[in-house]
Chains A and B, each alone.
Chain A
Amino acid sequence: AQTVTQSQPEMSVQEAETVTLSCTYDTSESDYYLFWYKQPPSRQMILVIRQEAYKQQNATENRFSVNFQKAAKSFSLKISDSQLGDAAMYFCAFVPYFGNEKLTFGTGTRLTIIP
């Protein structure tokens, strides 16, 4: 069974600054996908970024980038130039490449943006 751990229940950052959210996972799979999802208050969960485990290059989406360390089973999210709209719960999630595609979530990190 896979587990996903987010050790930071809450984080805060000044607007326009950079913040890094941590995620570690445990799996015996060699092929898998990792995701960061964002859930604003009372809004739907939306995908921020995804990483294929077989790719060495870290994924980037505009101001969002990841630091994927496969050997360490670490998958952190960096948000650059933080904006007020980035305030949300952020969930790290894992799904194996093979099997029934069960997505396993971490417990989330609540990000507050300080104006």
Chain B
Amino acid sequence: EAEVAQSPRYKITEKSQAVAFWCDPISGHATLYWYRQILGQGPELLVQFQDESVVDDSQLPKDRFSAERLKGVDSTLKIQPAELGDSAMYLCASSLRTSGNTIYFGEGSWLTVV
């Protein structure tokens, strides 16, 4: 069964350093999402792509976070500089274009900022 691939699974970084996460959605899925999940809470959407275009980045802290999906396939989420409060799991997800389609999640990338 096709899956959403994410790397790295775990990352420890020092405050003020840069960190990047990569996601490869299920083949054919036009919509890609990055969510942040703080321990004990539900995921919150950071950014949503439709193909290579951003359709929602209203919750993305743009002073330090950036996301791209240059060819409309895989995507990278970058944090620079990392802050202690960025410690969380970063989930990538994808879905087909059609409204109401199920959203499939990757295993997530755990970030610890020390």
Partners in one complex: yes
A: residues with CB less than 8 A from B are: 4, 33, 35, 37, 43-47, 50, 52, 91, 93, 95, 97-103, 105-108
How far apart are the CA atoms of A74 and B48 in the complex, in Å? 27
Q: Do B105 and A95 touch (CB < 8 A)?
A: no
- The residues of A that contact B91 with a CB separation of less than 8 Å are 45
Q: CA A33 – CA B50 in complex, angstroms? A: 19
Q: A44-B107, A52-B100 are in contact. Are A101 and B31 (CB under 8 A)?
A: yes
Q: Residue on B with the closest CB to A106?
A: B42
Residues in B whose Cβ lies below 8 Å from that of A102: 45, 48, 56
Q: In angstroms, how far is the closest chain B Cβ from the Cβ of A98? A: 7
Q: Are B99 and A98 in contact (CB under 8 A)?
A: yes
A79 to B76, CA, bound (A): 37
Chain B: interface residue total (CB-CB under 8 A) = 25
Q: Are A101 and B102 also in contact (CB < 8 A) when A45-B91, A91-B42 are?
A: no
Q: Residues on B close to A: CB < 8 A? A: 31, 33, 40-45, 48, 50, 55-56, 91, 93, 95, 99-108
The answer to whether B99 and A101 touch across the interface, beta carbons within 8 angstroms, is yes
Is B31 touching A44 in the complex (CB atoms < 8 A)? no
Instruction: Check B105 against A45 for contact (C-beta < 8 Å).
Output: yes
Hey, which chain A residues are within 8 Å of B104, CB to CB?
Answer: 47
Chain A residues, CB < 8 A from B106: 44
Name the residue among A37, A44, A93, A106 with the largest chain B CB count within 10 angstroms: A44
Specify the chain B residue showing the minimal Cβ separation from A50. Answer: B102
* Contact B105 A100, beta carbon cutoff 8 Å: no
Do the beta carbons of A97 and B100 come within 8 Å of each other?
Answer: yes
Q: Separation in Å of the A88 CB from the closest CB of chain B?
A: 13
Tell whether A43 pairs with B99 under 8 Å between CB atoms, given A100-B48, A106-B42.
no
Residue of B nearest to A98 (CB): B99
**Of B42, B48, B55, B91, which is in contact with the most chain A CB atoms at under 10 Å from its CB?**
B42
